[in-house]
Amino acid sequence: MNNNISSSNDMTNPMDPEEFRRQGHMMIDFIADYYKNIEKYPVLSQVEPGYLKKRLPKSAPYYPESIETIMSDVKDHIVPGITHWQSPNYYAYFPSSGSIAGFLGEMLATGFNVVGFNWMSSPAATELESIVMDWLGDMLRLPKSFLFSGNGGGVLQGTTCEAILCTLVAARDRTLNKIGKENIGKLSVYCSDQTHCAFKKAAQIAGINMNNFRIIPTTLSSAFSMSPEVLRKTIVADMEDGLVPIFLLATIGTTSTTAVDPLGPLCNVAKDYGMWVHVDAAYAGSICICPEFRHFIDGVEGANSFSFNAHKWFFTTLDCCCLWVKDPSALTKSLTTDPEYLKNKATESKQVVDYKDWQLALSRRFRSLKLWMVLRSYGVEKLRGFLRSHVKMAKMFEANVVSDDRFEIVVPRYFANVCFRISPKAITTKSVLSEINGTTARRNSGAEKALTINEINTKLMDSINGSGRIYLTHSVVDGIYLIRFAVGASLTEECHVATAWKVVKEHADAILSRYTTNEFGLGQ
C-alpha cells in the first residue's frame, strides 16, 4: 500500500472546492512560515549546478501523490535551490518587491483564471485595466495625452522587454508605411551604452539591421547620462549616409548605476527628425509618484511612450509592466489580428479596448487585479512612505560608505541603489600602485602579478555572497568594477542595512589584510 496517496487523490474532479480549501490553507500556512523564517536561509542559493536532478526521480509518478508529500519535497529540495529575492538581506540587481495585497490579487487572478484577450472574453478584466492605468498615470502626473481620458492609453505587459518590442514595432511600421517595407535595412535606432540589453534583443526581433543599432557612449564625468549633442551628431551622420532614424530609447534609472537620461533635451532632438521616443523607467518609475522625485521624468511630455515595472519597486508581484502610449492606434496597426472566430459586436462597435492588439501574445492574464488591490490597500500616501523608507535606508548605507576612507561612492545615488567599491586609496596605503582607467597597476618592476583594483573588488563581492548573509551584484562602467547595493525588498528594515554594512566591513577587513601577502601576488 502506498502511504503517500491520500483519499483526496481518489477524486475525479481536479477542482473540488473543499479539497481546494484544505490544500489552500496548507499552502498559505507554508508561505506565511516561509516569510516568517526567510532570514534563516542563505540569501544566495548555495547549491551546485545539476543538484536537483540528483534529488528527484527520473520520471513523473504514475499514481497521484499527496499534497503533504509534495510540500515535503518542496521544503527539502526546492527551497535549497532558491535565491531568496524576498529576503530582507537581498540587495542584488533590483528589488522584486511583494506585498500581501499583491499576493492576494495574484490569487484572485489565478482563481478566476480568465483569458482576457478582448473585451468580450471578460469585460471586467479589460475595463479594470484601463481604469487602473489612468489612476496610476495620474499618480505619476503623466501628461493627459498618455491617458485614456486624453486619447492615449495604458496597458499591462509582462515585462519591459515586451513594452520595448511593441513600441519599436509600432515605430518601425509607422516609418515603413511611408518609405516602403523594402527599406527596412535603412532604419536606425539609438540608445546609450547604459541602456538595458532588452533593447538590442527587441531590435533583432524587429528586423533592425544590427549595423544600424547606434550606441551613444557615456562617461563617468556625466554620471553616465546620454548626451543630446552626441545623439544629434550621430543622427546627422547617419542621415548623410542614407539611414532613416526611427527610435530613441531613453532611460530613467539605468541597470548598472541608475543613471538618468535628460528627457527634455533628448526628446527635442528626436522631434527634429520625426523619431519615436520610448522612456524606460523600469526601476525608477515607481518613485516618481513622490513629488520630490517627479522631476526625474520632466520632459516626458515629448515622448511617445513610457513604461515602468510595478513588479520591481511597486509591491506588485511579477509580472506587471505598465506601458502608456500617446497613440494607441500606432500599436494596434502593427499588432492587430482579426480572425473570424474572434469577431463580435462589441469589437465592431469600436467602443471597447481589445488588449490583444496592444501586445505580442493573444492570451493575457488578469494582471490589473493585483495592481488594483495594491493601490487600494495602501493608497498613495502609504506607497510613497514605503518608497521613501527605502531611499532613507540607501542614504544610511551610503553615509557608512562615505565615512570609511577605504571605500568610495562611484556614481551619484539618485534613488535607492548605492554604487560603491574599495577605493584605490585603500590599496596605495600598503603598496606602491598607480591607477589607470579604473585599474591599479603595480609600479614595482619585479612584481610577479599586477592585481587590479577591479579584481580586489571582485574578490570582496564574491566573498560577501559566498557567506550567504547578504546578496550583492556588480557592474562594470568606464572600466570600473563597482558593487551595487539596491534597497527595496519589502521586508528590509534599518537593522538589516546596518547588518549589511557590518558584513561588508568584515569581508573588506579580511580582503585588505590578506592583500599584503603573496596570496594576491603582492609583497609586503
- 473-479: average pLDDT: 95
Q: Among 45-49, 137-141, 258-262, which stretch is predicted with the lowest mean pLDDT?
A: 45-49
Residue 168 pLDDT > 80: yes
The model's confidence at residue 347, banded by pLDDT at 50, 70 and 90, is confident
pLDDT digits (tens, 9 = 90+) for 422-443: 999 887 654 434 444 444 444 4
pLDDT digits (tens, 9 = 90+) for 29-52: 999 999 999 999 999 999 999 999
Q: Which residues of 18-41 are buried (b: 16+ CB within 10 A; e: fewer)?
A: ebeeebeeeeeeeeeebeeebeeb
- 128-151: average pLDDT: 96
- 233-261: average pLDDT: 97
Q: Residue 342 has which C-alpha cell?
A: 474572434
pLDDT digits (tens, 9 = 90+) for 445-455: 333 344 689 99
SS3 state at 153:
strand
- 141-147: average pLDDT: 97
- The pLDDT score that the predictor gives to residue 430 is 47
CB 217 within 8 A of CB 230: yes
Residue-range domains of the chain with CATH: 17-84 (1.20.1340.10), 102-381 (3.40.640.10)
Measured CA distances, 210 to 110, 188, 353, 469 (Å):
40, 9, 35, 42
**Cβ-proximal residues to 77 (8 Å cutoff; 6+ apart), any chain:** 52, 55, 56
Angle at Cα 153 formed by Cα 128 and Cα 159, nearest 5°?
80
CB 362 within 8 A of CB 339: no
Among candidates 249, 281, 274, which has minimal Cα distance to 167? 249
CB 404 within 8 A of CB 505: yes
Residue 344 pLDDT > 70: yes
Residue 411 pLDDT > 90: yes
- The pLDDT score that the predictor gives to residue 300 is 97
- Please give the torsion angle defined by the CA atoms of residues 7, 13, 15 and 18, in that order, rounded to the nearest 10 degrees: -50
CB 99 within 8 A of CB 315: yes
- The pLDDT score that the predictor gives to residue 426 is 84
- The pLDDT score that the predictor gives to residue 515 is 65
Q: Among 1-5, 336-340, 376-380, which stretch is predicted with the lowest mean pLDDT?
A: 1-5
Measured CA distances, 335 to 148, 209, 360, 422 (Å):
19, 21, 7, 49
Phi then psi dihedrals of residue 471, to 5 deg:
-130, 125
Among candidates 44, 411, 356, which has minimal Cα distance to 220? 411
The model's confidence at residue 229, banded by pLDDT at 50, 70 and 90, is very high
- 73-96: average pLDDT: 95
- 204-230: average pLDDT: 96
Alpha-carbon gap, residue 333 to 353, rounded angstroms: 14
Q: What is the mean pLDDT of the chain?
A: 91
Residue type, 83: T
Starting at the edge strand that comes first in sequence, how are the strands of the sheet with 276-280 ordered? 153-157, 321-325, 305-309, 276-280, 244-251, 187-192, 213-216
Residue 195 pLDDT > 70: yes
User: Which parts of 113-223 fold into alpha helices (H)?
Assistant: 123-139, 160-179, 198-205
